[in-house]
Homo-oligomer: A and B are copies of this chain.
Amino acid sequence: MKYPPAIQKLIDQLSELPTVGPKTAERYALFLLKQSDAWLAGLAQSLQNFKSGFVYCSVCHALSATNPCSICADAKRDLNLLCIVSETKDMLLIEDSRSYNGRYHILGGTLSAINHQGPESLQINSLLSKLKHQPTIKEVILALNPDFEGETTSLYLKKLLADLPIRISRLARGLPTGATLDYADQQTIANALKFRNKY
Contact = CB atoms under 8 A, between A and B. Distances in A.
Interface of A: 1-7, 9-10, 13-14, 17-19, 23-24, 26-33, 37, 40-54, 63-65, 87-89, 92, 95-96, 182-183
Given A7-B54, A14-B43, A29-B50, 4 more contacts: A1-B95, A5-B53, A6-B65, A41-B48
A4, A31, A65, A87 interface centre (most CB from chain B within 10 Å): A4
A7, A33, A88, A96 interface centre (most CB from chain B within 10 Å): A7
Nearest to A29: B50
Given A9-B50, A10-B46, A23-B182, A87 B30 contact: yes
B44 A13 contact: no
A172 to B, nearest CB: 22
A92 B7 CA distance: 13
B41 A6 contact: no
A7 B4 CA distance: 32
A54 B44 CA distance: 19
B7 A53 contact: yes
Contacts of A14: 43
